[in-house]
Structure 1
Amino acid sequence: MRLTTPSFSANDDAAPVDMLAALFEARGWPFTTQSGDEIVGEIQGSWAKYQLRAVWRKEDNVLQVLCLPDVRVPAEKRAAAVELLAMVNEQIWLGHFDVWSKGGVLVYRNGAMLGGDGLLGLDQAQALVETAIEECDRFYPAFQFVLWGDKSASDALDSALVDALGEA
């Protein structure tokens, strides 16, 4: 279900899902709204397409942003992936990575507490989305090195961060 999206200026605030829908539409990213409280979109990152999902909990005035890089952690790699998660999360200022217990799906999560009015500004919406994409892009290679390259967590992180620093 796709709702009509109003346009917002940089100085406007809006309901979180409406603001994110306007941002997705402006960027040309496909999206659907599950309800007035949830939006799901698809964004092409540097390494993969990411599913970006945002859930608005108005009773708490919290917007949770989830970015899923379509990486599944097989049971036999879970210990190495969890070790890498701990090391990756030490490098992140906002949000964190998890592996969901059901299905072993890798996810980046970040929560934003909105003010008492429960409105989201365009700058904040852009920052939440861009941070999610940047962190997934930044650490995607490390997860691939552990899951498919059989590197240790520390070697994978070192390799991923060196590769990222060397890009032009």
Structure 2
Amino acid sequence: MRAAEDTYTPGDDAAPLDMLAALFEARGWSFTRESDEEVFGEIQGSWAKYQLRCIWRTEDNVLQVICLPDIRVPEAKRKPAYELLSLVNEQLWLGHFDIWSNGSVLLYRNATILGDDGLLSIAQAQALVETALDECDRFYPAFQFVMWGDKAPRAALDSALVDAAGEA
């Protein structure tokens, strides 16, 4: 299998979903081209298998990357979950975590405005996907601590960040 770097040289750009499909294929990740506007894939992270949805809005030249860590927030955990979201989002430079009202699903979302040509480079594609996966892996334990460990949001975040800092 050829790596995405072998398929596209740094000067080559492509339509966003074509580039993302090439990246998924090069990495051996299962994916489906849902439509002309969406690529969907599943990627094994450190803590869980994540669903990654990449949605292209041609009219705005905006690429949205959504990563779903398969965490549903039960009604009884909504308040601490939203408090944790606020604390987690303060730690992020790119994107944010949210809870979809439809199904109470936790997600990470980042949108990128591409240039007038609407093309994506391999470096941009890798950065967008890796950022989504890294942030989900980084904060997954904190959400687990709140949802199933009954930890307070601040304690959950502190524990998760200490644990992540200690891994090699």
SS in 2 for 1:91: coil
In structure 1, the residue matched to 2:10 is: 10
Supply the AA of the counterpart residue of 2:21. A
Q: Deviations over 1:82-120 (max 9, x none)?
A: 000000000000000000011100000000000000000
Check whether the contact 1:65–1:110 (CA below 8 A) recurs between aligned residues.
yes
Q: CA deviation at 1:37?
A: 1.1
TM-score (norm. length: structure 2):
0.95
Supply the AA of the counterpart residue of 1:71. I
Whether 1:165 and 2:165 are equivalent positions in the alignment is yes
In structure 1, the residue matched to 2:47 is: 47
Whether 1:153 and 2:153 are equivalent positions in the alignment is yes
Question: Share of identical aligned residues, percent?
Answer: 72
In structure 2, the residue matched to 1:108 is: 108
Check whether the contact 1:54–1:66 (CA below 8 A) recurs between aligned residues.
yes
- Cα distance between partner residues in 1 of 2:18 and 2:99: 29
Check whether the contact 1:54–1:63 (CA below 8 A) recurs between aligned residues.
yes
- Cα distance between partner residues in 1 of 2:100 and 2:36: 25
Check whether the contact 1:17–1:56 (CA below 8 A) recurs between aligned residues.
yes
SS in 1 for 2:32: strand
- Cα distance between partner residues in 2 of 1:124 and 1:147: 33
Check whether the contact 1:145–1:151 (CA below 8 A) recurs between aligned residues.
yes
Check whether the contact 1:11–1:122 (CA below 8 A) recurs between aligned residues.
no
In structure 1, the residue matched to 2:125 is: 125
- Cα distance between partner residues in 2 of 1:133 and 1:24: 13
Supply the AA of the counterpart residue of 1:95. G
Q: How many residues align?
A: 163
SS in 2 for 1:135: helix
TM-score (norm. length: structure 1):
0.95
- Cα distance between partner residues in 2 of 1:139 and 1:77: 17
Q: Which runs of 5+ in 2 are unaligned?
A: none
Q: CA deviation at 1:10?
A: 2.6
| More moved, 7-16 vs 110-119 | 7-16
Q: CA deviation at 1:8?
A: 2.4
Whether 1:77 and 2:77 are equivalent positions in the alignment is yes
- Cα distance between partner residues in 2 of 1:57 and 1:120: 13
- Cα distance between partner residues in 1 of 2:96 and 2:73: 16
- Cα distance between partner residues in 1 of 2:12 and 2:76: 48
- Cα distance between partner residues in 2 of 1:35 and 1:132: 21
Supply the AA of the counterpart residue of 2:72. R
Q: CA deviation at 1:68?
A: 0.2
Q: CA deviation at 1:9?
A: 2.4
- Cα distance between partner residues in 2 of 1:29 and 1:158: 32
